Structure 1
Amino acid sequence: MTIAKEAVLVTGRAPRRLLAAHVDAIAVTSPTQLFGLTPNGTHAAAGFREVNFEALCRAVNTMAWWLNKHLGKSNNETIAYLGCNDIRYIVLMLACHKTNYTLFLPSTRLANDAYNHVLHATQTTRLLFSQEKKQLVSRLTGLSKAIPSLEIPSVAELFSDRDHTGHLHYDWTPSFEEMENRVAFAIHSSGTTGMPKPVYLTHGFLGTMDYGAFIPRPEGRSLSFFNDLASTDPDSKDLVLSVTPYFHLMGLVSFFESIFHNLPFVASPDQPLSVNFLIDILHHTRPTVTILPPSILEDMSESDEALACFSKLKFICYGGAPLAPEVGAKLNQYTQLRTPIGSTEMGVISSLVPQHHDDWGYFEWNPAYRVEMQDIGDELYELVIPRVENSRLMHGVFHTYPDLKEYRSKDLYVRHPHNPNLWRYHGRFDDVIVLSNGEKLNPISAEKVIEGHPSVHRALVIGQRRFQTCLLIEPSSDLATDAIDEPSFIATIWPLVQAANQILPEYGQIMKHMILLASPTKPFQLTPKGTTQRHAVNLAYTREIDAIYAAQDEQQVEVKLPAATDYESLRNYLQSIISSLTGRSQDLKDSDDLYTLGLDSMRVIQLSKTLGSSVKARNGELDIKRLNVQELYAHPTLGKLTYLLQEVLQEKTASIPVMSRAEKIAELVHKYTDDLPVRILGARDLPERSTVIVTGSTGSLGTYLLYGLLCDAQVAKVYCLNRTEDAVDRQSAGFAQKGLDTALLADKSRVEFLHTSFGERHFGLNEAVYRRLLDSVDMVIHNAWKVNFNHPVSTFEDPHIQSVREFINFSLESRYNTHIAFVSSISTVSAWKPSSAGESSVPEVPMETVDSTLEQGYGESKYIGERICVEASRRSKVPTSVLRVGQIAGPDSQLGLWNPHEWLPTIVKTSISMRQVPGELGSFVVDWVAVDTLAKITIEILHHRRLEAARSASEHAVFHLTNPFQAPWADLIPAIQKRYPVEVVSFVDWINALGSVQDSSSDDLVDKPALKLLDFYRAIAGGSHQGPILSVERSKEVSPTMASLGPVSLSQMSNWLNQWGF
């Protein structure tokens, strides 16, 4: 941890003032003091009007009396306002303060669904609007349409000089202490992921902004924000131009700073920003300071006239996003650049102007503000604000979140190479891209480098859960995008992309053929700060992104098969192919697992084709069947793959001794159970309420498990152990997407997220945290597991099989002999055969041999996990439960989604494209359980098992979580036919029609995703019989929800179709 330690040289005093009361006071003591300049029209040439505090005070009183007349007496109701970007925002806000209304200021740029969401979340009772937004309000639908709406007076009416009763003073004289914890107004988050979230800001929060100009600072140093110019002179000559919308905190700040610190503002006409538009405003108003988003600064840096205007400014503030280095270096020659930073929840962090001119892109925190920079590894630091004695004077975030002990911003920084007090912004945890192999990268700095090219407006690196990155470019608006020669354009910017690649880790670097251009009809969506809405743009370009990755899948690898067939030659040949497929250029070790390094299922198919065609071209008589996909999965390392290729080329049988499947499995079981201690335990006491660890909480089932546990009065606290650092954000987004109450995640006394490394000792947690878990946790639901039906069992050992043993170790050390619930799979018993004539279904008992398990790595790994649990219960009296889960369907709720990439949704989407739907599903039966229902069943079973095992009644138990009733697939087809023109054909005919697609294009793979799973569908279509029936009697005995299940219904299928929206 790094803490600013420079001695504070000045002592500040908090004024503790209220906005509306302070306006009234200034109107009496300095009525002609300038509040700001407001435009007379839609263009700067129409001139600007000076508004003094006497006029502001009158307008606020007029609006307050208007609210009383039209809305009546308030009882803290929330009213929303959609308005033209003008002075009425502050007038209405101050009037609401006086009349006891809570004002909510949503963006005027939201989609209708977002309006419905935030207006519902804020319990808005009235929607006010300005005349300019009348059409916007008329287009609202749903909940937003149902809220009564009312147009407010115009600017001319509010600031009329005519004498009428509306100008009567509206008294409002509470103390700061009375109002400190009352809401002053509400806005919402930027909405970079999911739906926007309302944020309530109090009068105490505004008090911290007031204190910002009075906070102590080192002698001779300047604050980086424009409150550095705060003055007591009523004739102050400084003017601040801010163009940020007033539904955003940074826009409103210009009003607050004028009221609190005598820094009059310039309000721009409500027009889209452009270089010429801003040059006109600068010429007509002559401000001393501007606050501009980096995107417009980058455009203005290309204009000599704009640069000339900048040279007359004291300084420019920019924020919300980094500034391209080339642009900043250029602007820095004309005026001082300052980069304050803050957020909706925090307000503005107190920082200092760096002492060296060239350090304009760095932050130096004011020592008095007490920022902590906490080392998170990889030379990255997170900005953390600790709660200290005087936090509520200066830290707005502890008014927003009054119960927090510290605020973790999720903003990441790197330290200056020479000055330890300077920090450069590196992005957010949210910005981190996690590739399909688990490697992480932060793309922000690379994107800013690329955006430094004059032909590039925006750049977005993409790759979340993909095997490699791609780059989406939005060309500059002055280019005729429809006439762009794409290859020439990419060649032009390629040198800057190469420079950006030097910033990115090798595994995240961008290949030239993985660059695509945005369409002029789909411009990048931006936050009010001017930053790219990463999530929204990814969604808008889903089809194009899928297509470029599909095209990459089809790309031919041109590496010549060597003439020599010795081990080293073939090894180098394979390494070249694999490096080309995965984008990795580093050397591979013979023992490296290729499937954890980015060789996903599509890459394996391509590798199989490449090897097969190369070998066949060499000698058509050779057996290339041994180079099929399944054989490649069975040889997961470079060394094993080399031996396989060598055997095919030399027409040899396997030269490596091969253990039988049963021997491999037995060896792994032995490895993780051999040293289990023998213990004898009796009944044990448990806490009244359970404390639970859940793994994989951000997945589909995990999300509903977490929600169910947090809603359960029998659960005291849940610890979520996840492998990703962004689990909190992903969890929140998952709750929102599924319509679950995200407020449950804010209660730190009920839920805590821990970043873990499964398989490592103590899960990679520090000793104090691990001890805390040992002392409190009495139940673990181990739900995290890789789902891949192609990978061999060896690829599941680290960390998945290791993690089961690590949880057993946890239980052995724990205070309450923690119960381990292992979420397994019916694949562990899908090959079961009755041992006697009397057996008709798979019993809910442990399987003593692997014979009942499907011959696939996934099922085998789950079987090994089951055996570890069984042995831990038998030898060490660790209470364990195995939950064999069948096909998990989508939720029964309207919100949420059955993953559209799974086998059944893939069949449905492909059927729509082919206009044919299979009439049966081969060996598959419809015994599915909705995911939200499954979570409820799981929790009911584990409540029962927790008490049962504590009484030593049964240390180990097995439960089958499949639907007791099987529904015919044909009964669900009408739901599809009701929506789409599809005819019913046999599964074999459907597969044959799909297989007839030759040389599938990128569009084919998008429209017919079943092409990627064709071999899988052929296998289930060719199944001679359906899988065994599973007994569920034990599950039904202990779970009322399980006992009441019925077969999958037509209405459920219709709901899933609604969710997919194919």
Structure 2
Amino acid sequence: MESTRLPIYHPYHNLTRSTHINDMLATPTISLPRAAGLAQLPTKIVATASTIEFLQDEEPKNINDLIRLRAQEDCSDEPIVAYPSSGTNYIHYTPKQLDAFAERAAPHYSAFIPQRTSSSDPVHVIGLLGPSNLDYLITLLAITRLGHTVLFLSTRISEEAYVGLLNSTKATTLLVDNAFQSMSKKIQGQCPVSVQPVCSRVDYDGSKPTTFLPKAYLDSNTENSNIAWIIHSSGSTGLPKPIYQTHAGNLRNYANNFGLRGYITLPLFHAHGISCLFRAIHSRKLIYMYNADLPLTAPHLVATLKSHDIQILYAVPYALKLLAESEEGVKLLASLHLVMFGGSACPKPIGDKLTAQGVLLVSHYGTTETGQLMTSFRDRADKDWDFVRPADNLKPFLRWEEQAAGSGIYELVILKGWPSLVESNRPDDAYATKDLFEAHPTTPDAWRYYARLDDTLVLENGEKANPLFVEGVARENRNVAEALAFGANKPRIGLFLIPAESTACKTNEELVGTIWSAIEKSNDQVPAFSRLSKDMIKVLPKNLVYRKTDKGTVIRAAFYRDHKDLIEDAYREDELSGSEILEGDDLLAFLRARLLEIADFADMSVLQDDTDLFSLGVDSLQSIRLRKSILETLDVGGQKVSQNFVFENPSLTAMAEELTRLRTGAAKKDLPTVEERMAALIGKYSDFPQHVAGNKAGPAGEHVVVTGATGSLGAHVVAQLVRQESVSKVYCLVRASSQAIGQKRVRQSLMERHVYHMLSASALRKLVVLPATFAEPHLGLSDRVYEQLSSEVTGVLHCAWSVNFNMGLESFERDCIAGARHLIDLCLSSTRETPARLAFCSSVSAVARTPGNIAPEDLPDSLSHAQGMGYAQSKLVTEHICRRAAAQTGMSARVVRVGQIVADTRQGVWNATEAIPMIFQTAVTVGALPALDETPSWTPVDIIASSLVESLASKEDAGVINLTNPASFHWTKDLLALLKQAGLNFETVKKRTWLARLRVSNPDPTANPPIKLLDFFTAKYDNDTKGRKLSYATAKAEACAPSLSSAGQLSFELVQKFVNYFQNNCWNSPEKKQAKQTVLVIAGPCGTGKTTVATAIAEKVNLAYIEGDALHTPEAREQMAQGIALKDSDRWEWLARLRKAAALSLLETKASAVVVTCSALRQVYRDSLRQVTEEGNFDIKFLLLLGDEEELKRRTEVRAVEEGHYMKPEMVVGQLATLESPGEAEVDVVPIDTVKAKEVVVAEVEEIAREMLT
């Protein structure tokens, strides 16, 4: 096959840019076979700006060639490697000397390792174990000269690891330094290898008579593809695995260099170490090797840096830590052109300190399996040393996979086709690095290393904590030799410290004290669940034995296994017994001080003695920490303190009173009953102002305020409202720090529920998102915005509520109960003739304890009828407040009790983290489902939304309605049978058997999400109590909301849809998902700016761009220029060419996506383009640009005049007539309203495109 150069596609012409060091370091050189049919495609399809070139013929073909060529050059007498004779007394060696040394050492080794004289001779794998000294370097050069492969063995791995590597690579010989003779004897008995000593200086320095090798006749092309080195992984999660590197791959890697005199502290058996050495040789620049006989200390590093003209330091982070501890070390680093580290992450405090002192610190990122990938090379003014940047030619081979929606944490995946890729672990032959990154908040294509996927600590509540940050902070302290965070499947994280040998601290407490201020600062920079409390820092003995990787870092998994008892001890409370007795104000002051240590409050004044802590954002992990602090310090009279102590006593006063009662042994006070507390809250929020009738008619149409749009029900409500002709505006009040973030959250919510694609441009214009704070009287809105709402609002649909079943009643007051009251006030502030109408979404749990068999559509006779949890009680409180508002002011304030909401009827979308879907998932993770004797009543979310919208507009005299499906079903007889019919395979078992199986199932909540709800399921089902069968009257609801009657019996169609949704979207592990390349179609009628948007997005996201119009035939363009629409027969051929061009672009570039412009006005045209998914592992998405007729005509006319484009304004009318709105199933379409500023449209499309591609 003919070869062609692989283009790196850029979406814009005439690209000029200066060479970037990231490009230099990450530019491979490859040649690919020409894809069939490429030559026939029009050259306009893709604009190219740069091309990967072939290797020049004069370049070396293998490692041996490289040494020989450098020895024959004019500069062969210039030093290229320096190694100490002793201490830091360096001797310089030229390429000519290295070549001569290798020429003399090779015959020495040929006595027991046969030389290959022909490319048909077998290649042997030769293990090399020893310190990275000159003998080591000459040995590896000699083995290469003999034509064999070197297996680099770390000096820091276990006997088991050595045996595994030697056996798996079929090594024939093991060359061992004297220092490792005892290990070699252990290995020899378990491997069929010949053990031989590494040569010494006298074997190659010319002091012995020289013996020459016979001439070898090796084919350069064959040798080029042979394996040069075998490096191995660190073995941090198991035994190390071999990674094979060819001569060709290595030479491409070594050709990328900085061209600076260097100093390397990394061992040569490390991938970064051997690469740095040979990059120096390739670039003809001198490199100093650290003396392998010396410990890595600051004095030794300083001595070399001071004595020699070094420009770049290649170091492990530990070396940087040592130098950062002295002013002299920092100054030396700042004097270098560049400081580059690798091997592990550099602690952020150290990097920040060095960068602030003028050090150009560059993070290097690469893997043994992929080669060098990214660096943080940048201008000196840019201080973001820890954000690596991919070069342009690397970007098409990167895929960033977000770990959880909205988490901002991505795993890096390298795609097939990257030339240095030597390993794959995905079905599409990509390599998932298991390295996690977070994107820079403002700089595009800049990524900070976050953690290893294996390192992430999954807490017992499913939250994922990054241990590296706090470990790095601790390791910065000179008194700490090692730090390791722990806490997997525990309520909070802890930290083990191993003291440095030189520590001056006399006690463990003193050691912890030296790092605590730094830990406190680091706590401010991480999520609440990742924060470390002082009591969870545990100091271990200096002489503790623990396993390390070849890089010298602790093997996390092995440490957790070997020292699991230490971890368990850290969480035991048996020894917690404080003795301090505090009372009154002293006790309150103690509780306040401890709480402020644990939780952050933007406004300290909000923390009053009686303030509900959970209304201020205190979470469950902070509650655990506060409880533990109390137990460690205070005398509680030997009494048991409830695990939910803070939840049960959620204010400083309540905690102080309960602690005093426990210590003194006093009987519990006759506190107000929950019903009395509910009544008090009702009274507190039921004094309403009267509405003042305005004389303003207000703008035409309904103007509806909606809360909860980021939830499932709210999303469906919004989607239905904006599509109604009678509705002019929908205001979404959203908890968000800015309008932009709020808009993004609402859009994502509607897209996740598969309702956004059906919105027209006019519907999108009705949608306004406002960031709000419900606890504030004016909802956190500015006076201007609040006044605008008062003048416009006609109705309020209040769907938002905190869903936390652990919180007590009072914890719902600030945001929820008071928030509902503030929305009532908004209704009453209306300047229209009548107040705005309110529909409050309550819950059937508010009346779940109603006596008898039927709950009426009215307020219950007693507040005790609410289910026994704060959530239900707060809902019932608000029901009463709403009805009192109606009675006192005459406003319409309807209570809408909503029952169990399930998947929608169209797409089957259902939140997989809810309890019922979690039960279903155990069919997959446990293989069983419980046989429950329950008769649920389920209502699809879209039917609830329709009914809710109808109830707001209804004139029916119904103050309270039960919006729940009148039809029920039996869990076991009906539902389980339908689940099996829908394709779920499971065993039906008794509920306690099911619990037992769940209890012993995989404890990892990532692989087995239902395990997170084990306690909830146990409380609900680990009993013999029969469930109560309570029905709800629905006559008023059906009168107010006719859609409710369409819910009907549970159907196979609905069950099939939500099972398919779960299986296709929620229950596949990331390892099983095969990532796809995406065809991103910018669609829409002429004049919407398809080309403008597509070129901008392709440039910003660095993707290839295919201009659809370029693939029309000349005849078709002429026909359209005359205002004659194309026939479908012409369109099918055009769409086929588009599909082919898109597929070939993706196959050629291996990029994550390609941008294509195509009008795609009708569903059949979009379906035709969707056929591209049958031509490869491709996905397709449509961004449908929309606009008004007059505006589109204007734009088209301007373009025709200024650019001579063949599309004329007359074509707009025809295209708008042809345009078909996306159908229900077309969830791959995202509508974009383009009747706004170009930069706003481009920014919106870019944001959506990035979301689609991650």
Report the TM-score range of the alignment, normalised by the length of the smaller protein. 0.5 to 0.7
Q: Secondary structure at the match of 1:266?
A: strand
User: Is the Cα–Cα contact under 8 Å of residues 64 and 170 in structure 1 kept in the other structure?
Assistant: no
Which residue of 2 is the match for residue 970 of structure 1?
none
* Counterpart selection for 2:305 from 254, 263, 282: 282
Q: Which amino acid aligns with 1:382?
A: Y
1:316-341: per-residue Cα shift (whole Å, max 9, x none)? 21223124335543465354322222
Q: Secondary structure at the match of 2:254?
A: helix
Which residue of 2 is the match for residue 155 of structure 1?
201
Moved more, 91-100 or 106-115: 91-100
Summarize the alignment of residues 341-380 of structure 1 with structure 2, pairs less than 5 Å apart: 341-351=365-375, 353-361=377-385, 362-370=387-395, 372=398, 374=400, 376=402, 377-378=405-406, 380=408
Q: Secondary structure at the match of 2:513?
A: helix
User: Is the Cα–Cα contact under 8 Å of residues 557 and 577 in structure 1 kept in the other structure?
Assistant: no
Aligned length, in residue pairs = 675
Shift of 1:781: 5.7
Shift of 1:637: 3.5
Moved more, 68-77 or 433-442: 68-77
Shift of 1:559: 11
Matches of 2:919 and 2:441, distance apart in 1: 30
Q: Secondary structure at the match of 1:359?
A: coil
1:65 and 2:91 are equivalent in the alignment: no
Which residue of 2 is the match for residue 898 of structure 1?
none
Matches of 1:347 and 1:37, distance apart in 2: 23
* Counterpart selection for 2:258 from 218, 228, 237: 228
Q: Which amino acid aligns with 1:106?
A: L
Q: Which amino acid aligns with 2:520?
A: Q
1:143 and 2:162 are equivalent in the alignment: no
Summarize the alignment of residues 206-225 of structure 1 with structure 2, pairs less than 5 Å apart: 206-212=250-256
Q: Which amino acid aligns with 2:571?
A: Y
1:637 and 2:677 are equivalent in the alignment: no
Matches of 2:917 and 2:255, distance apart in 1: 45
Which residue of 2 is the match for residue 294 of structure 1?
317
* Counterpart selection for 2:169 from 109, 117, 122: 122
Higher Cα Rg, which structure:
2
Q: Secondary structure at the match of 1:363?
A: strand
1:306 and 2:334 are equivalent in the alignment: no
Matches of 1:153 and 1:27, distance apart in 2: 22
Shift of 1:273: 0.4
1:945-989: per-residue Cα shift (whole Å, max 9, x none)? xxxxxxxxxxxxxxxxxxxxxxxxxxxxxxxxxxxxxxxxxxxxx
1:251 and 2:273 are equivalent in the alignment: yes
Q: Secondary structure at the match of 2:111?
A: helix
User: Is the Cα–Cα contact under 8 Å of residues 122 and 198 in structure 1 kept in the other structure?
Assistant: yes
Q: Which amino acid aligns with 2:395?
A: R
Matches of 2:146 and 2:296, distance apart in 1: 35
Q: Structure 1 residues 619 and 132, CA, compared in 2 at 3 Å: closer, same or farther?
A: closer
User: Is the Cα–Cα contact under 8 Å of residues 426 and 432 in structure 2 kept in the other structure?
Assistant: no
Q: Structure 1 residues 24 and 364, CA, compared in 2 at 3 Å: closer, same or farther?
A: same
Matches of 1:156 and 1:823, distance apart in 2: 77
Matches of 2:983 and 2:200, distance apart in 1: 66
1:725-744: per-residue Cα shift (whole Å, max 9, x none)? xxxxxxxxxxxxxxxxxxxx
Q: Secondary structure at the match of 1:339?
A: strand
1:905-947: per-residue Cα shift (whole Å, max 9, x none)? xxxxxxxxxxxxxxxxxxxxxxxxxxxxxxxxxxxxxxxxxxx
1:315 and 2:338 are equivalent in the alignment: yes
Matches of 2:462 and 2:1018, distance apart in 1: 26
Matches of 2:622 and 2:985, distance apart in 1: 27
Matches of 1:400 and 1:201, distance apart in 2: 14
Matches of 2:435 and 2:1054, distance apart in 1: 48
Matches of 1:861 and 1:210, distance apart in 2: 70
Summarize the alignment of residues 803-814 of structure 1 with structure 2, pairs less than 5 Å apart: none
Matches of 1:257 and 1:783, distance apart in 2: 49
Matches of 1:35 and 1:50, distance apart in 2: 6
Which residue of 2 is the match for residue 607 of structure 1?
642
Q: Structure 1 residues 405 and 305, CA, compared in 2 at 3 Å: closer, same or farther?
A: same
Shift of 1:129: 0.7
Q: Which amino acid aligns with 2:565?
A: R
Q: Structure 1 residues 14 and 522, CA, compared in 2 at 3 Å: closer, same or farther?
A: farther
1:20 and 2:185 are equivalent in the alignment: no
1:505-542: per-residue Cα shift (whole Å, max 9, x none)? 11221112111223211277654445543334444543
Shift of 1:196: 1.9
* Counterpart selection for 1:783 from 906, 925, 930: 925
Q: Which amino acid aligns with 2:394?
A: Y
Matches of 1:40 and 1:515, distance apart in 2: 42
Q: Structure 1 residues 872 and 463, CA, compared in 2 at 3 Å: closer, same or farther?
A: farther
1:472-496: per-residue Cα shift (whole Å, max 9, x none)? 2334443145xx2222332332211
Matches of 2:456 and 2:557, distance apart in 1: 12
Q: Structure 1 residues 676 and 787, CA, compared in 2 at 3 Å: closer, same or farther?
A: closer
Identity percentage of aligned residues = 18
Q: Secondary structure at the match of 1:272?
A: coil
Which residue of 2 is the match for residue 770 of structure 1?
none
1:516 and 2:538 are equivalent in the alignment: yes
Summarize the alignment of residues 447-846 of structure 1 with structure 2, pairs less than 5 Å apart: 447-480=471-504, 484-522=506-544, 526-529=548-551, 531-539=553-561, 541-551=563-573, 554=576, 587-588=613-614, 606-607=641-642, 637-639=806-808, 757-759=912-914, 782-784=924-926, 817-822=982-987, 827-828=992-993
Which residue of 1 is the match for residue 236 of structure 2?
192
Q: Which amino acid aligns with 1:243?
A: T
Shift of 1:108: 1.0
So what's the TM-score if we normalise by structure 2?
0.46
Matches of 1:875 and 1:427, distance apart in 2: 41
Q: Structure 1 residues 622 and 399, CA, compared in 2 at 3 Å: closer, same or farther?
A: closer
Matches of 1:308 and 1:619, distance apart in 2: 64
* Counterpart selection for 2:286 from 264, 289, 294: 264
Shift of 1:582: 11
Shift of 1:502: 0.6
Shift of 1:295: 1.7
Matches of 2:1054 and 2:361, distance apart in 1: 68
Shift of 1:466: 1.0
Shift of 1:435: 0.8
Matches of 1:208 and 1:403, distance apart in 2: 27
Q: Which amino acid aligns with 2:242?
A: P
User: Is the Cα–Cα contact under 8 Å of residues 374 and 391 in structure 2 kept in the other structure?
Assistant: yes
Q: Structure 1 residues 598 and 553, CA, compared in 2 at 3 Å: closer, same or farther?
A: farther
User: Is the Cα–Cα contact under 8 Å of residues 148 and 228 in structure 2 kept in the other structure?
Assistant: no
Shift of 1:7: 5.6
Matches of 1:353 and 1:37, distance apart in 2: 25
Q: Structure 1 residues 80 and 782, CA, compared in 2 at 3 Å: closer, same or farther?
A: same
Q: Which amino acid aligns with 2:182?
A: Q
Matches of 1:327 and 1:782, distance apart in 2: 46
Q: Structure 1 residues 191 and 398, CA, compared in 2 at 3 Å: closer, same or farther?
A: closer
1:73-123: per-residue Cα shift (whole Å, max 9, x none)? 773443322112123444444444454543221211112233233333333
Q: Which amino acid aligns with 1:343?
A: T
Matches of 1:541 and 1:583, distance apart in 2: 31
Q: Which amino acid aligns with 2:435?
A: D
User: Is the Cα–Cα contact under 8 Å of residues 71 and 96 in structure 2 kept in the other structure?
Assistant: yes
Matches of 1:552 and 1:495, distance apart in 2: 28
Matches of 1:296 and 1:592, distance apart in 2: 41
User: Is the Cα–Cα contact under 8 Å of residues 63 and 228 in structure 2 kept in the other structure?
Assistant: no
Shift of 1:468: 1.0
Which residue of 2 is the match for residue 420 of structure 1?
444
User: Is the Cα–Cα contact under 8 Å of residues 38 and 266 in structure 1 kept in the other structure?
Assistant: yes
Q: Structure 1 residues 180 and 823, CA, compared in 2 at 3 Å: closer, same or farther?
A: farther
Q: Which amino acid aligns with 1:782?
A: V
1:771-828: per-residue Cα shift (whole Å, max 9, x none)? xxxxxxxx9962259999xxxxx9xxxxxxxxx999x9999799x9524124857943
Matches of 2:977 and 2:123, distance apart in 1: 51
User: Is the Cα–Cα contact under 8 Å of residues 226 and 247 in structure 2 kept in the other structure?
Assistant: yes
Q: Which amino acid aligns with 2:269?
A: F
